Structure 1
């Protein structure tokens, strides 16, 4: 299985924390902070897992997720959606949704799970 995560998150402190804990777990982490050109970056990087914030400059994570699921080449990409809005109704198409704030260990566990390594994806 692959070991590359693309993190689309505009908050620098959150991005650095996620990058650090995933890299420590053996993941190669690429970071991008803007939703406007996120689809181009996703296509270019070809990650094994996408960690996607909801509230982004340019385009929302919801819009990006909808585009992903409509694209046959990207429709099966596992996506962990991060949201500060709670998780009562996660976005359609998300593999897993996690509310901010979150524990670093939970991010690592969720990424491993949706990548098919570790606990079963929800």
Structure 2
């Protein structure tokens, strides 16, 4: 299946500087980017307009990236989304890795972030 361009990503990150960096680098790489500080706002936006992929920090203020992934995986409308975790403090365990398509260690290499997300989306859509 051919994936429509531009590819879209929802970024959920509570660090304002990282949100800005992710947006800039991903837009430069041709992604349509929507950024959110809070997972509740992100969830509403995701359900309203599905992205190709969700990139979420694991440790967020309020609901965690883990809880966001669990919510997305349990809803038939969003269960098939590609979801990527990012963390500098969480050690990925097997149960955690099962919730996400891939796990990125912070600091994330933003120069290759778009390519990593593209690979995850391609893998996820190939499974359909």
SS at match of 2:40: coil
Say which of 74, 77, 80 aligns to 1:73: 77
Q: Deviations over 1:40-62 (max 9, x none)?
A: 22112311111111111220000
Give the superposed CA RMSD: 1.9
Q: Which residue of 2 aligns with 1:111?
A: 117
SS at match of 1:101: coil
Aligned length: 118
Give the superposition deviation at 1:86: 4.5
The runs of 5 or more residues in structure 1 that have no matched partner are none
TM-score relative to the length of structure 2: 0.83
> In 1, distance between residues paired with 2:14 and 2:106?
14
Greater fraction of residues in helix: 2
